[in-house]
Amino acid sequence: MTREECTAGLKVLWSHVQKYVKLLVLQGVTLEPGQELVLECPIERVDFAREIVNVAYASGASHVAALWHDDSIEQMAYQNEPLVNFENLPEWRKVQLNSPAEQGSGFLSIEGQDPEIFKGIDTAESAVAARSSHMQLKAFHEGMSFWRSTSCIAAASIRS
């Protein structure tokens, strides 16, 4: 394949990515002009996140907050921290998600995970963390569950 063919192929691929992003923001989240968007995204997909932010602002978002997650750092936490650390979320994390949910922000969560990253990790930590998150992020989870907040969960591939 020549350089020109690769460049042409990437342009076509990127146009499909842009259509996907517009679909997520406008139809998935149904972002309204003046509404804040909270974007959760794997750190490996910063390029994808930037396109989401671009489309959100072009669609009238008042503010876009990007919340990054890194599975490698989460894996290290599960390997090194005591179980008690996963029982209570830090206050800043509660405010970070509950406050926008209470204010009517839209949420877009991009999922992408290496399927092998948590292999060998005791599931007790992740179970405690999930239970604690659900209990302590009540406004956030109720907003998602009972359609009080507009939200969308989508996938983006990452390298293993």
Element (H, E) at 76: helix 71-80
Residue, of 157 and 160, whose pLDDT is higher: 157
pLDDT (average), residues 33-38: 97
CATH architecture of structural domain 3-155 = 3-Layer(aba) Sandwich (3.40)
Residue, of 39 and 125, whose pLDDT is higher: 39
Q: Give CA torsion, residues 134, 139, 143, 144, to 10 deg.
A: -20
Residue, of 82 and 124, whose pLDDT is higher: 82
As a whole number of angstroms, the distance between CA 91 and CA 70 comes to 20
Nearest CA among 108, 101, 109, 110 for reference residue 149: 101
Decide if pLDDT at 150 tops 90: no
Q: What percent of the chain has pLDDT over 90?
A: 41
The pLDDT value given to residue 140: 78
Decide if pLDDT at 73 tops 70: yes
CB burial of 19-34 (b: ≥16 within 10 Å; e: otherwise) equals ebbbebbeebbebeee
The pLDDT value given to residue 61: 98
Tens of pLDDT, residues 36-66: 999 999 999 999 999 999 999 999 999 999 9
Q: What is the pTM of this model?
A: 0.84
User: Residue 147: pLDDT band by 50, 70, 90 thresholds?
Assistant: low
Residue, of 127 and 39, whose pLDDT is higher: 39
Q: Largest Cα–Cα distance in the chain?
A: 56
Q: Where are the domains of the chain?
A: 3-155
Q: Which range, 66-80, 122-136, 140-154, is most confident?
A: 66-80
